[in-house]
Structure 1
Amino acid sequence: MADFNFTTSDSSIFILPGIPGLEAAHVWISIPFAMFYIMGLLGNFTVLFVVGKEKSLHKPMYLLLCMLALTEITTSTSFMPKALSIFWFNLKSITLKGCLTQMFFFHVLSTMHSAILVIMAFDRYVAICNPLRYATILSNARIVKLGLLGMIRAVLFILPMPLLLSGQPFCANRIIPYMYCDHIALAMMSCGDVTVSSAYGLVMAFVMVGFDLTLIGLSYGLIIRAVLRISSKEAQQKALNTCTSHICALLMAYTVGLFSTLTHRFGYGIAPHVHIILSNLNYLIPPMLNPIIYGVKTKELRDKLVKYICRMYSPRAVDFKPA
């Protein structure tokens, strides 16, 4: 890794080297990263467009799907433009304020994404366990309120992270070995005591993820109990099929993220660039695949999407007026 010497005027500048050790291959690495990012944007914007245009899709389930799409668009956009500027233009510098801002939005949006997956699990629980009262329990207005509550929770819990680091002195070596400003990576650059900041970040990660996974597990425990009470095997299969898309989203969000976290903290024999690539794919692959999964598994959304595609590519009739 190249050494960077900072003068006093550079006291607020940090370096994001991209993927240390693979600098020569940055342009080639950027190709799949850019493709995943663009495909994720196209897929999620398509979901937003179709649901927004079709009044028949203005239901709690599709409103939640739009919220999920928005968080996936904004989460990947919070770091990918900067990452691509590193890959393509070698623009590795970032100010302390810019780093803290990126860190804040990245972690807030990631936490918001987890909250929406919890609300979606609750939505499936009500739809299967209490279908007759679904419209009463989960109205569009209530879904919006739950989404706002998730956003407020994310902001309140994440805000102390950049605030605790903003007053810290930072050492001369300000090279953050990532493609984005991560909380723990920035804390390691400090020459001061970051015990409180590091402990807070670790505790909040375990508390929020643990709380969300507990609620999701409880919801699916009740769903499975309700499904097993159904006598008809066909009805059981139909009920479980309504959860397939959400289960896929959960597996991608938490399994890949957990694997990335474990390899980062305990995989000391794994090369640093593997940690970085896994960490970034964790926020690029789910946004790319979720619209495809929901589009394939959700018949109503699939039908509307096919209708728009056919309308876009079908030849228009030309009217000829007699002379």
Structure 2
Amino acid sequence: MLFIAVFFAACSQEEASPTGPQDETGEKTEPQSSGDKPEYCGDREVIYHHDTVTVYRDTVERVIEKEGTSYTSFLYSDSTGAIDTLTKSSVALECDIGETEFSCQEQLVLVLAPIDGPAYEPVVYQELVIDTVHCHVSITDTVVKDTFYKESYSYKHDTTFINYGENRLMDYIVPEFVYEPGEHPFDSVVIRDFFDTLDVSDSRMGGKKRLMVNSELSFRDFPLTVLGVMPVLDAQYSYKYLKSWPEKWSPEENTYQFENFNELVSDTTVTWTLGFTRYEGGREELDSIQVTTLFKTARASLGD
């Protein structure tokens, strides 16, 4: 009976041993491997490598709320007149919002610069040296902590609705294309005034040797030689992609040069046809006008 009583007393003492929570700094146990020199090291110098293993008593899942991405969303009308929705990150989308209408654009700039130095880094090979002088011994410590937190993130995304939704800013449907006439739009009044009189008695033709216009022109029954001048492109190290809503589109500026090599022997009035392209709603259409020009020649000037 005395033996049985001693046995149960020992078991009760083992179950009641302290297992309470430890603080986050944890408690450090004794190394699992002693620092004594192992027999297999012999006479070699011992190098000890220390490692730490963390053991958690409990695991808790918690959700951390973070600010997410801000979006901008609006409606626009495509080229067929259908209504579509566009939603993009507010960081990438820059919008100019007025009182009754707005416009947005998305821009991406890629910078292309020459690469300095070699195109590929040299490969360095490291020789493996077997250590026969030292004896390496690993010692592992155990750190016990209360809780391991498995963290996940919840992102809150905000969306600005410009022209639809419950909190919209305005009622406005953006067209897909908006024609911009450019710096030199085609104007029939201005064109007729330009061609009203051309003085071919000098090489500059009275200051009208060139014509710049945001339209493609054709000259039918025009007595002078017309040359199209190619635009000069600047070499740049950057490529810029720009998408706009509405898309502000303008035709390319064209330059035409008139050569006064002609067979006119006296002042002559000629009625000819000027073909041009006009742009409406992002579409290109061909049209033409009748133009009457007085050509003043050098011989006529000498006879005055």
Same fold (TM over 0.5): no
Higher helix share: 1
TM normalised by structure 2 equals 0.19
TM normalised by structure 1 equals 0.18
